[in-house]
Structure 1
Amino acid sequence: MQVKFCGFTQLSDVQTAVQLGVDAVGLVFYPPSPRAVTPKQAQALSAAVPAFVSVVALVVNMTHDELLALANHVPFDVIQFHGDETPEQCQQLASAVNKRWIKALRIDAEQDTAASVRARIDSFAAMGASSILLDAYHPQKYGGTGARFDWRLIPQDSALPIVLAGGLAADNVAGTLDLPIYGVDVSGGIESAKGKKDAAKMRAFMKAVKRDRWQNETVTDGL
């Protein structure tokens, strides 16, 4: 199970996450979000991420020119499209900056079925997505709501590796270990306030997800 911690705004939080063994660090480039960072802030945060840990740039309906400017200033590895981007737009934008990409799909229990989710995933797989992220639907927000959708809607035979987001925390993430998913993505469930991570919550989350790796392991730095 791969783990992505998202929504970092503070250098010390990134350093703690890396020490705890997170697989990916997410930075939000969507100004309305309370977790948004500027390219200048992102430069300092990404500099704390060592090799073999991915930096993921979360963008929402970003234009071609905006994405080019971001890629020229911030050394990220993967784009996470989290807005209304079509499969074709994702492919075109990612190709413009030569980056791998994933797409976030917001799942609405009142309208979606496992079959409809699978069909949506297929459309992004056909355009070259590396993975798909499933999050809870909200009519006014693109993500970061802390809400959980009905996990029974996760398709068993997805064309892409699935990353699960929405309402995850240390006390419920163990319930994802038997789901047909590749990884988990958490933001609010490891925070003391929006954009400010809680070291104890981060450690508890990692321990719950990667129990075998953490058995008999001690992490220093007061965690």
Structure 2
Amino acid sequence: MVRVKICGIKTWEDARSALDAGAHVLGFVFAPSPRRIHPERAREIITRLPPFVTTVGVFVNEPRYSLLEIASFCRLDVLQLHGDEPPEYCRGLFHRLIKAIRVKDIGSLDLIPKYRVDAFLLDAFVPGQAGGTGHTFNWEIARRAKELGSPIILAGGLTPENVAEAIRQVRPYAVDVSSGVETNGQKDPVKIARFMEAVAGA
């Protein structure tokens, strides 16, 4: 089954709802965002998680020393770079890395060969927003990205209603959802469960 990351975890209740529904990965946002979480709060949640749950810290143009400090303090498994971090930023971090690519058009994929990371997350490009936009993009571009050989995580406007079709079209390594499982800016356990059911049925 395609792996699922529920991003923008802010409370233990968010985490529990995601895990109860069968999510594999939890994302914690440490960048300016309505979903931003303080490192101390993230650590409290992470220390309560059961084995085999992967935790991802989401950062946007974070200074390297600060990124590494938060990663160590929170015991993050993976670091997601969602800003304009250049390839040299990634060198020597000694963590598993996901690089987000904000997709404008097919030319956005030219960035992929320049990075040595563990996976790429493809998100919709919206001016002035690093992520969590609720917008989709042309999934054919994501299919083309798979041909470059790296694991592809599909994000951008995924919901319980469209994720199955997205998976059928792209066959990504994983899907990433945040606003698509929220109601009034809060994680919605019913939407999370419906999202997971749609993924399982794809």
Pairwise same-fold verdict (TM > 0.5): yes
- TM-score scaled by structure 1? 0.85
Partner amino acid, structure 2, of 1:167: G
AA aligned opposite 1:183 = A
After superposition, give the CA deviation of every residue in 1:113-157 in whole Å (9 maximum; x if it has no partner): 2xx344321212xx2x11100000011110111011111212141
**Superposition deviation, residue 7 in structure 1:** 0.1
> One-letter code of the match for 2:8?
G
CA RMSD after TM alignment: 1.4
Displacement of 1:177 after TM fit? Answer: 2.1
Unmatched segments (≥5 aa) in structure 1:
213-223
User: What is the aligned partner in structure 2 of residue 218 from structure 1?
Assistant: none
Is 1:78–2:78 an aligned residue pair? yes
Task: Answer yes or no: is the 8 Å Cα contact 1:15–1:48 preserved in 2.
Answer: no
> What secondary structure is seen at the aligned counterpart in 1 of 2:91?
helix
Aligned to 1:132: 120
**Which amino acid in structure 2 is aligned with residue 172 of structure 1?**
N
Match of residue 96 from structure 2: 100
CA distance in 1, matches of 2:187, 2:48: 16
Match of 1:176 in 2: 166
Task: Read off the aligned partner of 1:76 and give its amino acid letter.
Answer: L
- Aligned 1:1-223 pairs, distance under 5 A: 1-30=2-31, 32-92=32-92, 95=93, 98-108=94-104, 112-113=105-106, 116-124=107-115, 127=116, 129-154=117-142, 155=144, 156-178=146-168, 179-194=170-185, 196-211=186-201
Q: How many residues align?
A: 198
Report the structure number with the largest CA radius of gyration.
1
Partner Cα distance (1:119, 1:46) in 2: 35
Contact 2:14 2:187 in 1 (8 A): yes
SS in 2 for 1:163: strand
Identity %: 39
Deviations 1:29-65 (A, max 9, x none): 01x2000001111011212322211000000001022
How far does residue 192 in structure 1 lie from its aligned partner after superposition? 1.4
C-alpha separation in 2, matches of 1:10 and 1:105: 27
Q: CA deviation at 1:5?
A: 0.2
**Which residues of structure 2 form unaligned runs of 5+?**
none
Instruction: Kindly provide the amino acid, as one letter, of the partner of residue 39 in structure 2.
Output: P
